[in-house]
Chains A and B, each alone.
Chain A
């Protein structure tokens, strides 16, 4: 098994500022090497379902965690979450919503769809960095995924 090619984090983020800050925070925590970034919901689904540009992937190597923004171009995060969690091939993949929205209905709907974590991006820089780093550490190092 070619471990080095395995994507550990799929980061779905359209905002370049948030993307840069997220990547910086992960880099600082030395978690950056196997990150795949996609910039909208459609691209995210192509990656996850091994289609289009990602047709070469297979379902045997899922990311360890998907960090998903809610407000995305083309297909929004909620729809992406729904598709992941309603497909037997992908529903085991942990999904963390990383969003600006504190709206209760977003939180509730996400949990209804089977999200594994819901994180509101803090405005405050230190808080944001810490949240991203803890998240990466937790899902990559501490969490025990089911054997595929």
Chain B
């Protein structure tokens, strides 16, 4: 009886204990094979499975797959050996969510010492685990940050130091933790710290405070610092977090930018053009000094769209239309329009505006220049006028020349026709008298009549030569390759009658071909060669040499004779019309042949000259421009 009471009491105690356990813990009991044979309500609640779903299953039903195989094997090895296993396990609930449980598995042994069943008692630690994970993430973030993330106590003692801080300042965490923040301050900045600490103590944040700090190597660096108070859960300020960023490069870039801008402004101010900068929308926010000097305006008057007041109101709508169009299209702007100067007078300017685009191709700003083209335009106009005038004058002169030419032609035609008829009468009737009335005339009379005839004859020759000379300049030129040797041979054939009973030794050398009007050139050779024949008349033997030499890279043709020659002091007369160095009764001729030769050579752009000595022969030289181009 007593034993029964004792048993009952102890059973009650067990029930109470179990009730207490169920109240606190997640409990499951499995058989030696791991099959679940008991779960309490808490197990069902956390796993979100019903008791019926769990019983008869093993623990794989809540396996999260988080733990490695070795972890599970270790658990089983421990408990099958009858030992208690403790650990933290991540499980998966029926709805797929995860939960963490602190687990103790206790094997119950039979009398042989083999596990009879296992009882697992678990506590939900999900919340703690999540917090732990978040903390470790945070730590990783802090560690991997390029910014220096430092914490310090309210009195400025360093309490944490990340890798970013190590990189920026050069000190390791060990070197800094426990030290005063002042170790990073250059002497002249030490005064900042009490101020910063005071603000932290007041609970204020300090954002993007730009200052200078020293690295371990003593280098000064620009930093941007953000300080926030750290509070404990009683809202007391227990320290400060400090994020510092190295902005040395940014500062340097800013300085470089400022310097470049300064340079740009200096340049823009020193150039002779008016210049300005506009925003993407066309609002002009900067003008160079030249603009203000020229327009006599102020920056306040000009800002934005104020420039319209220095424009010609007549042209302004057109300017506005084109400028707004350029802005809308983001295309370069170019236009010429007048701008009013400080003196109230308008001058013409060529205006160009170039859009500056960012990487995305959007216009960031416009850079514009106005170049004074007034003088240029005026000169341009002047040149145009001058050209027009010149053209008009040329046209007038051409017309005059044409008229003169026509007159000359009419003149020579009439000379050719009308002067010859009376000459023919003079000559003819003198001849008729001599022929028909010779017997009735004294010898002296006949002689005079003969002279009349000769005079008429000579005048006829003069007229003919003069006409052929004047015809030369009117005749059009037809330049083509000419075989000089052939042309000389042809001329000599033609001149055969002039040398019938003469002994002339011809020395014709190699003659290069040339570019010339062959009919005109032939006349030159005729005149030079017939002269050579004529003026060697009393030489035995007469020697005439025809050749070509080189002078300044050009061909110089020449005809040399051993004839009568002349005194070089009269050479200048030689090529003039009707100029002669011999009397007609010595050597016949009209004095036109060399003038003709010279005119032909000149029309070819060449030169003709002579070397001679009295009684020692003469050499005539000539060149033809362009003969080398053959």
Residues of A within 8 A of B (CB): 15, 17-18, 21, 24, 70-71, 99-103, 121-126, 128-129
Contacts of B416 in A (CB 8 A): 100-103
Given contacts A100-B416, A102-B416, A103-B413, contact A125 B431 (CB under 8 A): yes
Instruction: Judge whether A99 and B453 touch: CB under 8 Å.
Output: no
Indicate if the CB atoms of A99 and B431 lie closer than 8 Å.
no
B457-479 to A contact mask, C-beta < 8 Å, 1/0: 10110001001000000000000
B421 A17 Cβ-Cβ under 8 A: yes
B103 on interface, CB distance cutoff 8 Å: no
| Cross-chain pairs A/B with CB under 8 angstroms, 12 sampled | A17-B421, A17-B422, A17-B428, A24-B432, A71-B417, A100-B417, A100-B418, A103-B416, A121-B420, A122-B424, A123-B423, A125-B424
B330 interface residue, CB < 8 Å from A?
Answer: no
Which A residues are CB-close (under 8 A) to B421? 15, 17-18, 100
Contact B430 A125 (CB under 8 A): yes
Q: Are B432 and A100 in contact (CB under 8 A)?
A: no
B272 CB to nearest chain A CB (Å): 65
For the complex, is B425 an interface residue (Cβ under 8 Å from A)? yes
Q: Is the CB of B420 within 8 A of A125?
A: no
What residue in chain B is nearest A100 (Cβ atoms)? Answer: B420
**Could you tell me if B464 and A128 are in contact, using CB atoms closer than 8 angstroms?**
no
Cβ B424 vs Cβ A100 within 8 A: yes
Q: What residues of chain B lie closer than 8 Å to A126, measured between beta carbons?
A: 431
- A21 touching B432 by the CB < 8 A rule? yes
Which of A101, A102, A103, A121 sits near B424, CB closer than 8 Å? A121
Are B417 and A125 in touch, CB under 8 angstroms? no
Contact check, A17 vs B413: say whether CB atoms are below 8 A apart.
Answer: no
B427 CB–A CB distance under 8 Å: yes
B493-546 residues at the A interface, CB under 8 angstroms = none
Within 8 A of A (CB), among B412-444: 413, 416-418, 420-425, 427-432
| Interface: B617 (CB within 8 A) | no
The answer to whether A101 touches B460 (Cβ under 8 A) is no
Q: Which B residues lie within 8 Å of A15 (CB)?
A: 421
Name the A residues within 8 Å of B425 (CB-CB): 17-18, 21
List the A residue with the shortest CB-CB distance to B461.
Answer: A123
Q: In the complex, A100 Cα to B414 Cα: how many Å?
A: 10
Q: Given known contacts A17-B424, A21-B432, A125-B431, what 15 new A-B pairs fall within 8 Å (CB)?
A: A17-B422, A17-B425, A21-B429, A71-B417, A101-B413, A102-B464, A103-B416, A123-B420, A123-B423, A123-B424, A124-B460, A125-B428, A125-B432, A125-B453, A128-B424
- Complex CA distance for A76 and B457, rounded to whole angstroms: 28
Which of B418, B421, B432, B453 has the most CB atoms of chain A within a 10 A radius of its CB?
Answer: B421
Q: Is B591 an interface residue (CB 8 A)?
A: no
Contact partner, B457, options A17, A70, A124, Cβ 8 Å: A124
Report the separation of the CA atoms of residues A129 and B413 in the bound assembly, to the nearest whole angstrom: 24
Q: How far is the CB of B195 from chain A (nearest CB, A)?
A: 115
Cβ distance A39 to chain B, nearest Cβ, rounded Å: 14
| A-B pairs with lowest CB-CB distance, top 8 | A125-B431, A123-B460, A17-B425, A100-B420, A125-B428, A21-B428, A100-B417, A125-B427
The answer for the CA separation of A101 and B412 in the assembled complex, in Å, is: 10
Given contacts A17-B425, A100-B424, contact A123 B417 (CB under 8 A): no
In the assembly, what is the distance between CA of A129 and CA of B459, in Å?
A: 19
How long is the Cα–Cα vector from A129 to B431 in the complex, in angstroms?
10
* Contacting residues, chain B, for A103 (C-beta < 8 A): 413, 416
**Chain B residues in 8 Å Cβ range of A21:** 424-425, 428-429, 432
A45 to chain B, nearest CB (A): 21
Residues of A within 8 A of B413 (CB): 101, 103
Indicate whether B456 reaches chain A with its CB closer than 8 angstroms: yes
Q: Which residues of A contact B457 (CB under 8 A)?
A: 123-124
Q: Which residue of A lies closest to B425 (CB)?
A: A17
Q: Is there contact, CB below 8 Å, between A123 and B418?
A: no
- Cα distance, A83 to B572, chains bound together (Å): 53
CB < 8 Å neighbour of A17 from B429, B459, B467: B429
Closest Cβ neighbor of B464 among chain A residues: A102
For residue B467, which residues in chain A have a CB less than 8 angstroms away from its CB?
102
Indicate if the CB atoms of A18 and B431 lie closer than 8 Å. Answer: no
Nearest-neighbour CB distance to chain A for B605, whole angstroms, equals 25
Collect the chain A residues with CB atoms within 8 Å of residue B430's CB. Answer: 125
CB-CB nearest in chain B for A120: B420
* Complex contact B417–A101 (CB within 8 A): yes
Residue of B nearest to A105 (CB): B413
Q: Is the CB of A99 within 8 A of B428?
A: no
In Å, the complex CA distance between A98 and B311 comes to 82
A129: chain B residues at CB < 8 Å are 431
Minimum CB–CB distance for B201 against chain A, Å? 122
Complex: how many Å from CA A21 to CA B431? 10
**Chain B residues with CB below 8 A from A101, complex form:** 413, 416-417
CA gap between A120 and B422 in the complex, in Å: 15
In the assembly, what is the distance between CA of A100 and CA of B422, in Å?
A: 11
B432's nearest neighbour on chain A, judged by CB, is: A24
Chain A residue contacts of B456, Cβ below 8 A? 123
Between B416, B428, B431, B453, the greatest number of chain A beta carbons within 10 A of the residue's beta carbon is seen for B428
Minimum CB–CB distance for A17 against chain B, Å: 4
Cα of A113 to Cα of B6 in the assembled complex, Å? 170
**Which residues of B are found within 8 Å of A24, using beta-carbon distances?**
432
Q: Determine the distance from Cα of A71 to Cα of B427 in the docked complex, in whole angstroms.
A: 20
Q: Tell me, in angstroms, the Cα distance from A108 to B475 when the chains sit together.
A: 15
Report whether A128 and B420 are in contact in the complex, using a CB–CB cutoff of 8 Å: no
CA distance A101 to B467 in the complex (A): 11
Roughly how many angstroms separate A92 CA and B430 CA in the complex, as a whole number?
Answer: 38
Bound-state CA distance A71–B430 (Å) is 24
Q: Which residues of A contact B432 (CB under 8 A)?
A: 21, 24, 125
Kindly provide the distance from the CB of A87 to the nearest chain B CB, expressed in whole angstroms. Answer: 27
A141 to B431, CA, bound (A): 27
Task: Output the least CB separation between A131 and chain B (Å).
Answer: 11
- What is the bound-complex CA distance between A123 and B453, given in angstroms? 10
Most buried by B among A21, A99, A100: A100
Nearest opposing residue in chain B for A121, CB measure: B424
Could you tell me the distance between the alpha carbons of A103 and B422 in the complex, rounded to whole angstroms? 18
Cα A124 to Cα B417 with chains together (Å): 15
Q: Are A123 and B427 in contact (CB under 8 A)?
A: yes
CA distance A100 to B424 in the complex (A): 9
Query: Which residue of B has the minimal Cβ distance to A21?
Result: B428
Chain A nearest CB from B411 CB (Å) reads 12
List chain B residues, Cβ under 8 A from A123: 420, 423-424, 427, 456-457, 459-460
User: A57 vs B549: C-alpha distance in the bound complex, in angstroms?
Assistant: 71
